[in-house]
Amino acid sequence: MEGTKRIPVLMYHRAGTAHNNWESRYCIAPDQFAKHMHRLAAQNMRACSLADFFAWIRGEKGLPDGSFLLTFDDGFLGVYEHAAPVLHELGWPATVFLVSKLIDGRDVWCKNEYPNGVTYPLLAMKHIDAMRHMGFSFHSHTRQHPDLTDLSDDELVNELAGSRQDLKDLLGEEVRYLAYPYGKYNDHVINAARTAGYEAAFSTQPGFNRHDIDPFRIRRLDISGTDSPDMLTRKIHYGSNDGSWRQTVKYYKGRVADRLGIKL
């Protein structure tokens, strides 16, 4: 099949104002997000839809070089306020993974993690409906955002099957995909997700996705609010969460060593 042989998936969280260094790890300023997207557009990269991504994974559809999938975890209101207008202007789709019992609420799972204990608003149904008309798709990030590897079998059913049903009722369509909260999963969680009816799930493991990727271990690149456009493009080029120049040097040193038969 002609076209790209690998597709990166980008993972963002909140778009808005970060109030400390901890928040900047998960929050990107609106102007910085716009710079990210316009840099990718200038490099002839284009966001593909979730449906096209999985058709490509299954070998049913070719996608051009420069294709990538854009995802947002948690469903922050700032994605509607700041990211959606940029993507609408570019005509690019994206996917948001929602915490189904906290729609129109706040990210209370982070209350004990934030240094200042602050929480932020999440999308309400009116925002979700508007974003669906802009090309966004919505899937599951569980009901309450727990670490799935800590749950009992009954709790897994509640979080996985429960969230899928919640969102199906709200959206009026099948919910096929899951993003593991905190990126944490194991074989037991994968089996529970499959039993709950999901067709694939997204991890936080960096790297590229190729046709032979395990659909329950989809790789994603973690994009931080502190990433410059140059760092973003390096992350995508190397399939790495390290966007520094060190990664570039390490990569080319490895290439030279391989050609010379040197073990580093």
Q: Is residue 3 part of a domain?
A: no
The whole-model pTM stands at: 0.92
Integer distance in angstroms from the first to the last C-alpha of the chain?
36
Nearest-angstrom CA–CA distance, 9 and 56 = 13
Residue 36: closest CA among 160, 260, 184, 221: 221
- For residue 238, being part of any structural domain is answered with yes
For residue 146, tell me if it sits in a domain.
yes
Residue 118: give the domain boundaries: 9-227
| 258 and 158 within one domain | no
Residues 55 and 150 in one domain: yes
How confident is the model at residue 252, as a pLDDT? Answer: 46
Beta strands (DSSP E) in 14-83 are 14-15, 27-28, 46-47, 67-74
Q: Are residues 14 and 75 in the same domain?
A: yes
Q: Are residues 72 and 178 in the same domain?
A: yes
Within a domain: residue 1?
no
State the CATH number of the domain containing residue 52.
3.20.20.370
Spatial distance between the Cα atoms of 6 and 66, rounded to a whole number of angstroms:
9
238/217 same-domain check: no
Kindly give the parts of the chain with pLDDT less than 70.
1, 115, 245-264
* CA distances from residue 158 to 108, 143, 161, 163, 192 in whole angstroms, order as listed: 18, 8, 6, 7, 11
Question: Do 166 and 188 fall within a single domain?
Answer: yes
Structure tokens at 154: 């009954």
Residue 4 falls within a domain, yes or no? Answer: no
Residue 2 lies in a domain: no
Confidence at residue 255, expressed as pLDDT on a 0 to 100 scale:
47
Report phi then psi at 21, rounded to 5: -65, -35
- What pLDDT does 256 receive? 41
Do 80 and 117 have their domain in common? yes
Residues 183 and 261 in one domain: no
- DSSP per-residue letters across 201-224: EE----S-B-TT--TTSB--EE--
Are residues 172 and 142 part of one domain?
yes
Same domain? For 24 and 151 the reply is yes
Q: Looking at the structure, tell me whether residues 47 and 111 fall in a common domain.
A: yes
- Count CB-CB contacts under 10 A for residue 85: 13
For 188-247, write each residue's pLDDT tens digit: 999 999 999 999 999 999 999 999 999 999 999 999 999 999 999 999 999 999 977 565
Residue 248 maps to a domain = yes
Domain count of the fold of the chain: 2
Beta pairing partners, 11: 71, 222
What is the tens place of the pLDDT at every residue in 230-242?
999 999 999 999 9
Same-domain pairing of 137 and 261: no
**Residue 78 included in any domain:** yes
